Structure 1
Amino acid sequence: MKEKIIEKSNELFLNLGFKSVTMDEIANSLGVSKKTIYKYFKNKTDLIDGVTNHIFDTICCGIDEICEQKGNPIDDLFNIKQFVMTHLKDEKSSPQYQLQKYYPKIYSSLKQKQFKVMQGCVLENLKYGIEIGVYRKGIDIEFISRIYFNGLTGIKDKEMFPLKNYSMKTLMNYYYEYHLRGICTPLGLEKLEHQLKINQL
């Protein structure tokens, strides 16, 4: 039952937002009473913590699988982007922004975990990209991995980048182009141009 509660809550939170979905709505969607939910989660905050950790673990497993295939590092970044956006429902409800605003403790904990996982993945991506000649030699990979993470979290600030002006897909494409043009070799730029054409469709 706990898994069903997490799955249904995950669906509702990502489609409608963490703030707007009530425990009553979750219970009704599952066809159970609120008491049933409270057997497993002491309150809504506890449920949101469980759901966000579930999303985090699911996304981490998917990213690991993509990275393990050792494809072209530029293709890998775009594949990871597509995988994450699919699991976050294209971020239509601005989940990260809502967490930051209404559940700051959960957001802070999640951000620290995201950084540890993403930095390792990005460092490997950068090293391999240099090795096969799609990224420039001599770039500071530690700095770039940190600025990359900071930029990815920054574009999810809905006050800075309102959804009415930018869809998340558009923002991600802009950010990936911005990131990669700064570090790619001519060979890498060819691969980037190909990915940008695919992602405009």
Structure 2
Amino acid sequence: MSTGNSVDIRQNIITTAEDHFIRYGFKRVTMDDIAREMSISKKTIYQFFKDKNEIVCAATEEHLRREEEQMDRLEQESENVIEFLVKCTKMIRQHVATVNPSAIMELQKYFPDGWQIFLNYKKKVFLNSLMRSLIRGQEDGYFRPDFNPEILAMLRMEEVQLCFDNRVFPRNRFDITEVQVQVFRHFIEGLMTAKGRELLEEYKKNLSPHETIF
């Protein structure tokens, strides 16, 4: 087996596992499921990963890396923080629609190593991105100047996780997409100045009939 092929197979295992974890949750997916989907043997998978936990960690890192790239791209392409938030809302809807609601809670409960990767991402990437956006909004006059960006960024991080908690928002009573969007709306509208709200209304006017921001 050549080095190039080895790299490809390992990456394909990660990609397949990530797709299954997102759709079905971390607990339900087995090594047999991954092998069957790829039409390979479990023995081949074990040549690259010693156990399921190691695959969970690799898939979690891959998913978060791609999410980081997407956030960076949206931030760079946005002319202002309001446009960035509009794009983030669309991204939230897309992500929530594709991710199994139980995935985050299962990662926390059953895979502590993968959960630590997620926590590190929250602290190093998500927190910094949020703080940049909040500070940018304050400097441009779209957000109130009287709040601490670090405190509000940390609050927002916890809100995201809370929305996936089935104990707080049971799946049989709440639509997870609606929960995430409404909580995000509550958070953002509490920060906006009149200038920020005015610009947001301008973006709303340019939406197609089937699109919504909040």
Alpha-carbon separation, structure 2, partners of 1:29 and 1:123: 40
1:72 maps to what in 2?
80
Identity %: 25
The answer to whether structure 1 residue 199 and structure 2 residue 194 are counterparts is: no
Contact 2:127–2:157 under 8 Å retained in 1: yes
Question: 1:60, CA displacement in angstroms?
Answer: 0.6
Contact 2:21–2:29 under 8 Å retained in 1: yes
The answer to whether structure 1 residue 47 and structure 2 residue 55 are counterparts is: yes
Report the number of matched residues: 201
Question: 1:192, CA displacement in angstroms?
Answer: 4.5
1:148 maps to what in 2?
156
What is the one-letter code of the residue matched to 1:140?
A: N
Q: Which has the greater radius of gyration?
A: 2
Alpha-carbon separation, structure 1, partners of 2:200 and 2:160: 18
The answer to whether structure 1 residue 97 and structure 2 residue 123 are counterparts is: no
What is the one-letter code of the residue matched to 2:163?
A: I
> For 1:21, what is the secondary structure of its paired residue?
coil
What is the one-letter code of the residue matched to 1:109?
A: I
Contact 1:177–1:192 under 8 Å retained in 2: no
Q: 1:21 to 1:97 in 2, by over 3 A?
A: same
Select 1:37's aligned residue among 26, 38, 45.
Answer: 45
Q: How high is the TM-score relative to the length of structure 2?
A: 0.84
What is the one-letter code of the residue matched to 1:166?
A: F
1:130 maps to what in 2?
138
Contact 2:22–2:99 under 8 Å retained in 1: yes
The answer to whether structure 1 residue 163 and structure 2 residue 171 are counterparts is: yes
Alpha-carbon separation, structure 1, partners of 2:68 and 2:175: 24
Provide structure 2 residue ranges, at least 5 long, that are not aligned to the other structure: 1-8
Contact 2:104–2:164 under 8 Å retained in 1: yes
Question: 1:22, CA displacement in angstroms?
Answer: 1.0
Select 1:22's aligned residue among 10, 25, 30.
Answer: 30
Per-residue CA distance 1:142-184 (angstroms, 9 max, x = gap): 2111111121122121211122222222112111111012110
Q: How high is the TM-score relative to the length of structure 1?
A: 0.89
Structural RMSD (CA): 2.3
Question: 1:200, CA displacement in angstroms?
Answer: 6.5
Per-residue CA distance 1:30-80 (angstroms, 9 max, x = gap): 000001111111001111111000001111111111112243313313423
Alpha-carbon separation, structure 2, partners of 1:105 and 1:81: 29
What is the one-letter code of the residue matched to 1:73?
A: V
Question: 1:85, CA displacement in angstroms?
Answer: 5.2
1:187 maps to what in 2?
195
Select 1:2's aligned residue among 4, 7, 10.
Answer: 10
Per-residue CA distance 1:80-115 (angstroms, 9 max, x = gap): 343355356532343211101211332133212222
2:3 maps to what in 1?
none
Alpha-carbon separation, structure 1, partners of 2:212 and 2:106: 27
